[in-house]
Structure 1
């Protein structure tokens, strides 16, 4: 509360804050696309087994040109349940008789097949090269594609831990940090700089060292106590908040990343879907902001995460032929996932006290990064069922939205400055609820 009183004199939302937001957007804009690039760098193009009579230039059984490429493919590669060429097996010997059966297999014994022992031929009409084509991460090695994405996301998790620690050097010059670390003169200088940028000329007479010391008295006293990671879990209410925030962030990042880096499974045109997601995510985030201010943080998270889960679950029951509807639902789910993640971030910032906020958000962020890292591994389950990973993503999204309702609402509430503020706030709420129960019991109508 105290530092917020000082912000009134320097301008709550002025040129300084806008410049800060623009700088942060540029930084985020350079980082986030790396995750979405997995839709292209790790795309799985169409593929089939390499066969000599089709793909070996030195071996040719069709010099006369009587047989077409489709005929040669027909006698070399078996068909799957959808009557399309198998991706992972080939005939041991060319099955010439298949050219004359018109698709009927009833009177012919099942021919012997084998895995793609000589490698694969990839459809390069869309992607000339990906990690999949470079390392043959298909068929029996398809799980390694998910492992590669997991390793990439683990790099982000490691960077989150290391970078979060290093960022204290660069963020340490904030006015609040300077004041609570017994550098009030430097903190006052920063406040006056912000006031000057925001055009608050009259603030120079108001912002004095005495005003800073008096206004920040409680925070200065609280800052004398050094807080460690263990302080997050020593008091019951803060411990509950941090554990719930970690769980919600962990559960929500699994379906969000699962959706955003696996667009290829949802639409035949990943380029179109990626562009649509980029366009729609902006108004979706604006809608999320208004929703948080109107309905509150908890309800917004619950609604948005549930809608994302429902859209994912709906897509898996749509046939591949309904590409337009699948694209619309995937775009909607992606945009909603971005808005739900934003509301989760805002809620977490408002629930933890100032004196230990950086540590708390670091712990919550690590939990989220762990969920993001594990997200690609669920795609390994496609070896057993193509829909199983998506069912898990959809259910986890809905479940995460419901768990968010267990957290306190922070709409129009002051930010807690100390751990004691969190504990006192919970006691006040318990007291109000007890009074309401008493009134209910006493009042006859």
Structure 2
């Protein structure tokens, strides 16, 4: 016998998923559906953000950025008491990216509501004196709306179809005794024999122009009619000729004249320097992808052009080119700020970079990067790191003088960042719209 309590204190209304899966399998479903207990719910503590002056700016791509003390001081009143050690930098908890798809494809009970804002670690050159001067420099790593995201050892492109700029907020706290999050310097790794002068680089090419089905998220670039081709120019920085490279390209099916089932056969080929890389065949209106390998010695330094050709037999086939992603080994030669991944794991390794007066950050965990200890000799900058076995390490190399500065918007006074958070009641849906719609 299975004992039951006489009375269930609280019950939950069955969800559509529960009705679909459980009702056909439980004989007394009519009674049992009233026995479902609601999951335990714990109210997450709301983040307390200090009062102060907020300065907003937006960014369009991943990378290192800087703000000078003068740029910040020009946005606040002359009588503002400003200790640079208290400055804080915030962005959305999605770190620049959109989160719509992630939110709408998870069960509510399995997902905790993220914080409105997260603080990023930054560095301020000249803050130690406790007074923000015109020549002080604040620099930081940030994400734009689209870019490469890393999950453990997987690197993939995130294309944002919802907005083209990511917002950031610089906070000048009213309480100058507060201290903002700062980039820490990693421990020195004992010297050893393993060293390389190259790293793994990723590039992505995508321009969303047309939406062939007029709905959804399948945006492409250019229609390729039967026998036609699309040329995608790329510019590579000193690829290592003795190594192979990898690529992924995407297409979207489209018909010149709509058929009943939308199953016109498409056949495209991608090539480089008259060398065929891969064919792709499919028969629907959706998105389709194919990966390929580029042999050693094929990639060259500088510009080259990939050609995507429509080799289909059916004149009704006119698919759209969607994107091209490349990963290749490049020499670590500094010309402008650049990112690279470690091509190996589970070792202590020295990376030798051509260039002097450089800085290198480990940006594997982008909101809290690490500054890396460096040594320099004869225009070679070396960094010694420990590479874990399970996670690719991502680095960015830069000179402060080469970093761009975003345009700062007008400063504003105290802002209540948690206005939509309510700790006393819950709702299945929140509708946000113009005030005029409220009636």
Same fold (TM over 0.5): no
Length-normalised TM-score, structure 2: 0.18
Q: Which has the larger radius of gyration?
A: 1
Length-normalised TM-score, structure 1: 0.18
Q: Which one has the bigger strand percentage? A: 2
